[in-house]
A and B are shown apart, each in its own frame.
Chain A
Amino acid sequence: MKSNMPLSKPIRRLIGETEGLLDTEITLLRDPEAAAGGTLIDVYTYNTDKNIIIFPASYIGLLKDVIIAKHCVQLLVKGAASKKSAYRVCSFTEDSVYHGMRQIYLDTLKDEAKKERKLPVGKLLDMLFILYTRFHEDISELPWNPIVNARIYYQMPQIRKTQLYMLLKEGKEDMDEMMEYEEIIPRRYFVLDKSMFYARDCFLAKTLPSDELMPVVNIPQMKKFNHLEVKEMLTTRWTHTAWYQSKYFGDNVLTIMEKHLNADWGARSSLDYYKSLYDIGVALTNSLLEYMTMKDWFVWESPGHLLEAMKKMDNYEHSALKKIFGDLVAD
């Protein structure tokens, strides 16, 4: 491990275990511009020879520990799959982009027919790919979130309180995201997006023992937080909104999650164990895609395939728009 920052024993142990199991090294980097949830740049996904965990410079104590822990577990899952030559990611092709954007377009037409104020054509065209890539991001990240959080919760009880604070914070951000687009994007996609995060919160509320769910009782700011208890915040806050549809679909998504996410979260660490977590993540992703009728939107491919696909995104978008709209779209 490359770092000179103070690290608690459980985190040092986890980093050491990760490096040992994967026969690799991890560098920790503090960055003022880092995303709130940190970033993992790893040798299995990117063309790099170093594993780097980047976290916000403002996180100096236990908050950074949770971020490091989450990315270590992600690295273990990726690394274990990679070592068994089985590591694939959700990627896309010219064809799959077309399928996705076409479906979004058809759903948009249905929604637009009911609206008085129509979306300007230019914005509609832009929205198709933006929504497609939004779902690509979500489906690439969300299925792994409950796996990583459940594993950390059971493997590292010392940082539970910190983990729960971060879950509340992230959950609130996820809940607030896309709100400004609620009236613009097709209802179906707004509901499906919220459903996935609702189900994630509900799954974690059920899986993480309730007696731990009052993380930091002495902080006045936490007590005033939405005037709700922590456990309620993870679940009922979703129902105290107009998103009843999200709850309905969310309950179905939760059923899917519960069906797949039944690992022994406290099991002894080994490459086989983390490979089994990877397999669970893949199965969950596939089930979610099937439920959302998005099976032909993405393809399981190597990380290299995805890196190449990202470079061709503009081309794929243009190609899909040409197929859907023909000569209405300029070359």
Chain B
Amino acid sequence: MTAREVTELLKRGFALVQRTKYREAIVLFERALRLDPKNVEGWSLRAAVLIDMERYNEALASSDRALALDQNFADAWSKRGLALYNMSRFNEALEACTRALALNANDVTTWYVKGICLDELGRENEAQEAYAKSLELEIILDMDAERRRSRK
């Protein structure tokens, strides 16, 4: 097993996810994780694709595996939050999103999901603040993308 092999599998898996070929992507992620069970990114990517496949319990377990390996992996907290949100466990989802954002405050989706959870919990003012932050980041990304497109 080489680190390069694992990275390559994860990269190919990610490309398949972008083409919504989730079943094929999972196969590659799991191959990578058999080769390197301590690969935090691998567990986090697996969690992401399981969320896309609506297998939320498994996604939760996958993100927890990532966090057991590295408590400071922001993306794993983010996926944990997303899985819990989809299971309507809003308090726990909110906590996970908050942990994710403390590690990486530039995550549009996590701010957005945090806003939804706060909304569901009746904390509307805080929800609007989270949405505002999500929007701010999303607009910056959108304007950067526009700038790149106009240069081509």
Residues facing A in B121-139 (CB within 8 A) are 128, 131-132, 134-136, 138-139
**Could you tell me the distance between the alpha carbons of A169 and B54 in the complex, rounded to whole angstroms?**
34
**Could you tell me the distance between the alpha carbons of A222 and B137 in the complex, rounded to whole angstroms?**
12
**Could you tell me the distance between the alpha carbons of A161 and B133 in the complex, rounded to whole angstroms?**
12
If over half of A's interface residues share one DSSP class (helix, strand or loop), that class is named, otherwise mixed; here it is: loop
If over half of B's interface residues share one DSSP class (helix, strand or loop), that class is named, otherwise mixed; here it is: helix
Interface hit among B8-16, B36-44, B61-69, B105-113:
B105-113
* A9-B120, A219-B139 known; A58+B145 contact, CB < 8 A: yes
Contact A8 B115 (CB under 8 A): yes
Residues facing B in A36-55 (CB within 8 A) are none
Contact A60 B128 (CB under 8 A): no
Q: Chain B residues with Cβ under 8 A from A165's Cβ? A: 135, 139
**Could you tell me the distance between the alpha carbons of A221 and B111 in the complex, rounded to whole angstroms?**
20
Q: Chain A residues with Cβ under 8 A from B119's Cβ? A: 8-9
Contact B112 A62 (CB under 8 A): yes
Q: Chain B residues with Cβ under 8 A from A6's Cβ? A: 82, 85-86, 109, 112-113, 116
Residues facing B in A126-166 (CB within 8 A) are 158, 161-162, 165
Contact A219 B136 (CB under 8 A): yes
CB distance from A35 to the nearest CB of B (A): 13
**Could you tell me the distance between the alpha carbons of A169 and B146 in the complex, rounded to whole angstroms?**
10
B131 — nearest CB in chain A belongs to which residue? A62
**Could you tell me the distance between the alpha carbons of A54 and B141 in the complex, rounded to whole angstroms?**
20
CB distance from A203 to the nearest CB of B (A): 24
**Could you tell me the distance between the alpha carbons of A4 and B113 in the complex, rounded to whole angstroms?**
13
Does A32 lie at the interface of the complex (its beta carbon under 8 Å from any beta carbon of B)?
yes
Q: Chain B residues with Cβ under 8 A from A221's Cβ? A: 139-140, 143
B53 — nearest CB in chain A belongs to which residue? A4
Which of A4, A6, A58, A61 is the most central at the interface, judged by chain B CB atoms within 10 Å of its CB? A61
B86 — nearest CB in chain A belongs to which residue? A4
* A158-B131, A221-B143 known; A61+B112 contact, CB < 8 A: yes
CB distance from B131 to the nearest CB of A (A): 6
Q: Which of A7, A61, A222 contacts B138 (CB 8 A)?
A: A61
Q: Chain A residues with Cβ under 8 A from B138's Cβ? A: 59-63
Does A241 lie at the interface of the complex (its beta carbon under 8 Å from any beta carbon of B)?
no
* A4-B52, A6-B82, A161-B132 known; A58+B141 contact, CB < 8 A: yes
* A161-B135, A216-B135, A221-B140 known; A61+B54 contact, CB < 8 A: no
Contact B18 A61 (CB under 8 A): no
Q: Chain B residues with Cβ under 8 A from A161's Cβ? A: 132, 135
**Could you tell me the distance between the alpha carbons of A165 and B136 in the complex, rounded to whole angstroms?**
10
Question: Chain A: residues with CB nearer than 8 A to chain B?
Answer: 4, 6-9, 32, 58-63, 158, 161-162, 165, 169, 216, 218-219, 221-222
| Given pairs A169-B142, A216-B135, 11 additional interface contacts (CB within 8 A) | A4-B86, A6-B82, A6-B109, A8-B112, A8-B116, A60-B108, A61-B131, A169-B146, A216-B136, A216-B139, A219-B139
Q: Pull 12 A–B residue pairs with CB atoms less than 8 Å apart, ordered by A.
A: A6-B82, A6-B109, A6-B112, A8-B115, A8-B119, A59-B138, A59-B142, A61-B131, A61-B134, A62-B138, A63-B142, A216-B139
